[in-house]
Structure formats: structure tokens, C-alpha cells
């Protein structure tokens, strides 16, 4: 991982510095997620190359699954704590898997990796943590710079109608389109009992589909499917 200094202030603004990564990782629903098989099907159907970049890779569950299938994967994250967790998970894998994984401490709005990728992934809520259109556009432009030709970008982004219809209390700024809510984490203790821990907060920008399509167009990316 790079040792140069990075601007990590966005981690504070969006709330990622306000809770322990282990709470995020221990959520029963997150631990049971199996995205690997779905992405492997996508890759087999739409991408002929083996080089993959995952933005906001977190603890590395997806990139490890892809590396096990023979893909060369770079995992990028701005949180050094999450990358350290990811590194420990990667070290549990056999050498044949470890050698296909590289982790980089970078900002998805400013990264410059000197290579291109056949497939770039930004899933879960990563795009929502970009709290301004300038940050969103900067990220999309970086993606375009790092896509091979041909190359594909997979972006997961919840729609505002889904976000605002969810249960629970939250604050919403309609001008900035930013939703803020307290974090409640479901965990399983050492006795197998489920409990809820309230810790930290989360701020995410809600982006409407028409906005996203315009941002993609400005960044020089063509939307193939939604």
C-alpha cells in the first residue's frame, strides 16, 4: 500500500470515521452476502479480460472471491483501517490467490494507477459517500481514465425513492440531497445472541437516475444497462 499522505476528510464527512469497522463487518446480512458468483457470471458474459479494479473494496470479500477464480484484482480504499482488515483476510488465502491481489490506499476521486482494467466495480453504498456532484464526476472521470478498451464499469447506486421510504428516523437536506442517519448495527455475540449496537452516523448523497445518466455522459461513459 502507498505510504503517501491522502486527504481522508471525506471519511469524517460521510461518517466512516465515526464507527468501528468491525461493526460493519460483523453484520449477519453482510457476512452472508455472496456477490462473487453474480459478478463471475457478469464477467464471463460481458468481459473477456482478467484485470479488475474494485473501488471502496472494504474488507475484500468480493475481491478475494474473484481472485480465487483466477482474476487479477486491485482493491482500492481510502480507509486505512478497512484496508488493514482486508490485508489480514487476504493473508489467510493460499499463495495462488494472494499473488493475484494488490491493495492500494487511494482516493477514488483522485487515484492514478498507471494501468487500465477490463472491469471496474463500485458496489454497495460507495458512490453515495461522494457528497457533491464534483466528487461524483471526479470519480467517474477517473474510472474512464482507467478502463481498458473495451472495458466495463459496474456501479451500484440506490435510488432516492427507495432510500427515503425506508423505516427509521433520519435527517434529509433536499437542497444538497444528503441523508443523515444514526447507525444501528446488528451483531451476533459469542453466545450466538443477536443484539443491536448504536454507534456513529452515516451521510450519503442521494442521486436520481436522470442525474446519474448526465454525470456518466459528462464523464465520457456510455450507459449500457440500468
Q: What is the mean pLDDT of each run of 10 residues along the chain (226 residues)?
A: 72 93 82 83 86 95 94 96 95 97 97 96 93 97 95 91 86 95 87 88 95 96 90
CATH code where residue 33 lies? 3.40.50.150
Please report where in the chains the cell 445472541 appears, as a residue: 193
Report CA-CA distances (Å) from 107 to 7, 117, 139, 144, 184. Answer: 8, 17, 9, 15, 26
Residue 72, SS3 per DSSP: strand
215 located within any domain: no
205 located within any domain: no
186 located within any domain: no
143 located within any domain: yes
* Residues in CB range of 25: below 8 A, 6 or more apart: 31, 59, 85
Which pLDDT belongs to residue 166? 80
Tell how far CA 181 is from the center of its chain. Answer: 19
189 located within any domain: no
Residue 174, SS3 per DSSP: coil
- Range of 63's domain? 15-158
- Alpha carbons 14 and 67: distance in angstroms, whole number: 30
The DSSP bridge partners found for residue 196 are 186
Reported pTM: 0.92
Which pLDDT belongs to residue 187? 85
- Alpha carbons 170 and 193: distance in angstroms, whole number: 27
102 located within any domain: yes
Q: Are strands 178-188 and 171-173 parallel, antiparallel or unpaired?
A: antiparallel
Domain count, the chain: 1
Q: Are strands 117-122 and 147-155 parallel, antiparallel or unpaired?
A: parallel
178 located within any domain: no
Q: Say how many C-beta atoms besides its own lie within 10 A of residue 203's C-beta.
A: 22
Which pLDDT belongs to residue 162? 86
- Alpha carbons 48 and 55: distance in angstroms, whole number: 20
118 located within any domain: yes
Which pLDDT belongs to residue 2? 46
Amino acid at each position: 500500500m502507498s505510504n503517501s499522505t491522502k486527504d481522508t476528510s471525506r471519511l469524517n464527512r460521510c461518517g466512516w470515521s465515526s464507527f468501528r469497522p468491525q461493526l460493519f463487518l460483523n453484520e449477519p446480512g453482510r457476512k452472508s452476502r455472496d456477490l462473487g458468483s453474480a459478478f463471475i457470471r457478469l464477467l464471463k458474459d460481458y468481459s473477456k479480460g482478467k484485470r479488475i479494479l474494485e473501488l471502496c473494496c472494504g474488507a475484500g470479500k468480493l475481491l478475494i472471491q474473484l481472485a480465487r477464480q483466477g482474476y487479477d484484482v486491485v482493491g482500492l480504499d481510502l480507509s486505512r483501517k478497512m484496508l488493514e482488515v482486508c490485508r489480514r483476510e487476504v493473508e489467510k488465502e493460499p499463495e495462488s490467490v494472494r499473488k493475484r491481489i494488490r491493495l492500494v490506499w487511494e482516493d477514488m476521486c483522485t487515484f492514478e494507477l498507471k494501468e487500465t482494467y477490463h472491469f471496474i466495480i463500485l458496489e454497495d453504498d460507495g458512490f453515495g459517500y461522494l457528497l457533491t456532484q464534483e466528487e461524483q464526476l471526479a470519480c467517474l472521470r477517473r474510472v474512464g481514465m482507467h478502463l481498458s478498451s473495451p472495458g466495463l464499469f459496474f456501479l451500484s447506486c440506490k435510488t432516492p425513492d427507495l432510500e427515503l421510504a425506508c423505516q427509521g428516523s433520519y435527517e434529509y437536506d433536499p437542497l444538497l440531497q444528503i441523508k443523515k442517519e444514526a447507525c444501528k448495527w446488528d451483531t451476533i455475540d459469542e453466545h450466538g445472541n443477536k443484539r443491536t449496537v448504536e454507534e456513529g452516523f452515516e451521510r450519503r448523497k442521494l442521486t436520481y437516475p436522470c442525474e446519474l445518466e448526465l454525470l456518466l455522459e459528462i464523464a465520457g461513459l456510455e450507459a449500457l444497462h440500468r
